[in-house]
A and B are shown apart, each in its own frame.
Chain A
Amino acid sequence: MKNLISQAFTQAKNQRRPALITYTVAGDNTKKNSLEILNSISKQVDICEIGFPHNTPIADGGQIQTSSYRALKNGIKINDVFKIVKNFKRTKKTKPVILMGYYNMVFQFGEIRFLEKCKKSGVDGIIIVDLPWPENKKFSKKCKKRGICFIQLIAPTTDKKRLKNIIKDSHDMIYYISMLSTTGGKLKVSTNKILKNYSMIKKINKAKNCVIGFGITKKNISKLKKADGLVVGSAICSEITNSLKKKQNIVTNVSKLVMNLKMKIL
């Protein structure tokens, strides 16, 4: 049987649209609310990416940093992250979940122990921001052995030779970083340019599901519809921040935003 991540892409393709992938930080703003958000948006979302927050995130922009610090301040621990995934999966068995975070947390938990815990909780994929190829080769193999998809990142700075090697070692899904930026930066390159780079990746291996992320908002998402999948993260994090500021219901507001995003790619 194909894993849930591949299934989600197939399903979206059948509907002639890109898969919608959302990123939220586990425990933002509370453990309970972050689970409620996931439950609520999962109707629109194809793959849920969940961040395990770190207090020294070197690749995240302001919005995700704010969410991470908020979650940590509210006491989120790595085991809570697994609990959130487990509870989410209890009702949404077929919805793929990807955990995303920084390597030190995996390293302190122990790679094997971390992956076993992932498996038990129902995690389908993992993104480690600061564990690039080829350093990630061993860890990626450990993931594969347990049926967990290790998602390789590709950036505009990745050269052709490296690109080929990364794709060769990748699993079912790869993540293209749209521009030189931390997460949530303003899209400073044209969507055409992004799609051109995207096509180059697809040309090397059509079979790999390639998603685009960084700087995607409801303003530009429809222009990138050609991709296999699109990731929206910071826009959601800042929606949570704004809702908190305005003392409005976070779950309702985030769900509205996600609905809105989905409509734009249909």
Chain B
Amino acid sequence: MKIRKNIPLIDQHDKYGFWGGKFGGNYVPETLKKPIEDLASNFSKLRKNKSFTKKKNYYFKNYVGAPTRFIKLNNLSRNLNGAQIWAKVVSDANGGAHKIYNAVVHALICKYMGKKYIVGDTGAGYAGKMLSMAAKKFGLKCKIFMGAKDIKRQKPNCDAIRKNGAEIVPVFTGSQTLVDAVSECMRYWVSNCDTTHMCVGSTVGPNIFVKICGYSTSQISKELKFQLINTFKKIPKKIKLINCVGGGSSAYGFWSEFIDYPKSQIELIGVEAGGPKNSKLHAAPLTHNAKLGILHGAASYVCQNKEGQIKETDSISAGLDYPGVSPIHCFLKDTRRARYTSVTDEDALKAYKIVRKFENLNPSLEPSHAFAEAIKIAPKLSKDTIIIVNSCGDAIKDRDILKKFNL
């Protein structure tokens, strides 16, 4: 298994859609084969289409608001007294998180394909909120599938989705979280694929959805590369890019431009949700060496039991609370290009508190996991090491949870 150079990672799959010969693919019901093929062929044409790219870039700049800030966290760095800590403030993006990139691209594709309806899943509610925003912007009718548990814990985003005129379909099956929302959304698409476009909210699902999402979020690292050169005149010698990983869309987007650099120069660190401290439940398949399995149309490392039943997960952060992970991250793990670890609910909250104390930044619980790892390793590292955390979401949505902890 090897990563090829000078080719975007999203394109390094075989003809059956597998990365590294075993991650990804298309494990879908026959009904979805044709819609997926159509989407794949449309996407491959659109990517090469100059007017589409121009349009995408236009909306990224004028609607999403590119580039998002790249800032040094001076107080935090001084306090930790080790590596410099920087943040790519992706939560600056319109709507407050990286999910807007994928949403805009899917809405544009939906328009090009002549479909009027768009559906999507959401965990933390950001994917749903952004899709409802993009749908409104481009005049599409939108439905969002969301687990009943998540609807309760991410109310601010639900309010936003409804305000944008989209319908939230609550999902009551299973653990009533993201995994069930994705399943229900796929079921809905099976029944309505003739009129409706589906947006998968992360770099998961059948091959083409991994690709579209990765293509969209790669905007983050394109901006960062430019900003690094602008700030340091060239790409610095010791960089660590730390990103939380649920499905893995923001992490892929944050890393994609840097994968070809040697690991010794740019280390990629993915932080999964370790769940509550004294619980066996977590949402960290890569950290816990979960077995390869099939979930939502793709093969990846999945939290599951011996029989292949998908295991329940637990995390304070709804956006990371998912038993599977992107096939791309499995590929990055097995090729040892990226390293994965996990952070508990408690440590994520602690990190949130520290960041809030020292900086004018309000990272949601998802990137707080990444900050926790940064805070942990920074003191041991040299001052010329540049740690960059992708602050990929804003904590407004976590208002109710944070209140519970008096934060």
Q: Is B190 an interface residue (CB 8 A)?
A: yes
**In the complex, per-residue mask of B63-105: 1 if CB is within 8 Å of any chain A CB, else 0:** 0000000000000000000000000000000000000000000
Given contacts A158-B34, A180-B191, A180-B192, contact A107 B308 (CB under 8 A): yes
The 6 closest A-B pairs by CB, nearest first: A108-B308, A155-B31, A157-B34, A104-B294, A104-B308, A105-B308
8 contacts between A and B (CB under 8 A): A57-B183, A69-B174, A77-B307, A108-B306, A132-B28, A132-B33, A155-B29, A158-B33
A156–B33 alpha-carbon span in the complex (Å): 11
Q: Which residue in B27, B30, B187, B191 is a CB contact (below 8 Å) of A158?
A: B30
Asked if residues B34 and A108 are in contact (CB atoms below 8 Å), the reply is: no
**What B residues does A109 contact at CB under 8 A?**
307-308
Asked if residues A58 and B192 are in contact (CB atoms below 8 Å), the reply is: no
Q: Is B186 an interface residue (CB 8 A)?
A: yes
Given contacts A58-B183, A61-B187, A78-B307, contact A180 B297 (CB under 8 A): no
Q: How many residues of A contact B (CB 8 A)?
A: 40
Q: Which residues of B does A touch, CB under 8 Å?
A: 16, 25-35, 173-174, 179, 183, 186-187, 190-194, 291-297, 302, 304, 306-310
A207–B306 alpha-carbon span in the complex (Å): 40
Residue of B nearest to A185 (CB): B191
Asked if residues B31 and A156 are in contact (CB atoms below 8 Å), the reply is: yes
**What B residues does A56 contact at CB under 8 A?**
174, 179, 183, 295-296, 309-310
Residue of A nearest to B186 (CB): A58
Apart from the given pairs A55-B174, A135-B25, A153-B29, 16 other A-B contacts in the complex at a CB distance below 8 Å? A56-B309, A56-B310, A58-B28, A58-B187, A59-B190, A72-B309, A102-B308, A107-B292, A108-B306, A108-B307, A130-B294, A132-B26, A132-B30, A158-B33, A162-B34, A180-B192
Asked if residues A107 and B307 are in contact (CB atoms below 8 Å), the reply is: no
Residue of A nearest to B38 (CB): A157
Asked if residues B31 and A58 are in contact (CB atoms below 8 Å), the reply is: no
A182–B193 alpha-carbon span in the complex (Å): 11
Given contacts A54-B308, A135-B16, contact A180 B34 (CB under 8 A): no
A interface, by DSSP: helix, strand, loop or mixed? Answer: loop
Expressed in whole angstroms, the minimum distance between the Cβ of A102 and any Cβ of chain B is 7
A129–B32 alpha-carbon span in the complex (Å): 11
| Residues of A54-80 whose CB lies within 8 A of B | 54-61, 65, 69, 72, 77-78
Expressed in whole angstroms, the minimum distance between the Cβ of A177 and any Cβ of chain B is 6
Q: Is A154 an interface residue (CB 8 A)?
A: yes
A153–B30 alpha-carbon span in the complex (Å): 6
Given contacts A56-B310, A72-B309, contact A102 B191 (CB under 8 A): no
Asked if residues B294 and A103 are in contact (CB atoms below 8 Å), the reply is: yes
**What B residues does A156 contact at CB under 8 A?**
31
Asked if residues B293 and A180 are in contact (CB atoms below 8 Å), the reply is: no
Expressed in whole angstroms, the minimum distance between the Cβ of B299 and any Cβ of chain A is 8
Given contacts A56-B174, A56-B183, A103-B294, contact A180 B310 (CB under 8 A): no
A158–B191 alpha-carbon span in the complex (Å): 14
Q: Which residue in B16, B28, B179, B306 is a CB contact (below 8 Å) of A130?
A: B28
**What A residues does B16 contact at CB under 8 A?**
135
Q: Which residue in B26, B193, B293 is a CB contact (below 8 Å) of A104?
A: B293
**What B residues does A131 contact at CB under 8 A?**
27
A60–B294 alpha-carbon span in the complex (Å): 16
A55–B192 alpha-carbon span in the complex (Å): 23
Given contacts A157-B31, A159-B34, contact A54 B173 (CB under 8 A): no
Q: Among A57, A107, A109, A180, which residue has the most Cβ atoms of chain B within 10 A?
A: A180
Expressed in whole angstroms, the minimum distance between the Cβ of B204 and any Cβ of chain A is 13
A67–B243 alpha-carbon span in the complex (Å): 40
Expressed in whole angstroms, the minimum distance between the Cβ of B373 and any Cβ of chain A is 30
**What B residues does A130 contact at CB under 8 A?**
27-29, 294, 297
A75–B174 alpha-carbon span in the complex (Å): 16
Expressed in whole angstroms, the minimum distance between the Cβ of A51 and any Cβ of chain B is 14
**In the complex, per-residue mask of A164-193: 1 if CB is within 8 Å of any chain B CB, else 0:** 000000000000010011100100000000
A107–B299 alpha-carbon span in the complex (Å): 10
Residue of B nearest to A175 (CB): B30
Asked if residues B293 and A59 are in contact (CB atoms below 8 Å), the reply is: no
Expressed in whole angstroms, the minimum distance between the Cβ of A167 and any Cβ of chain B is 13
Q: Which residue in A69, A108, A132, A182 is a CB contact (below 8 Å) of B190?
A: A182
Expressed in whole angstroms, the minimum distance between the Cβ of B250 and any Cβ of chain A is 24
**What A residues does B193 contact at CB under 8 A?**
157, 180
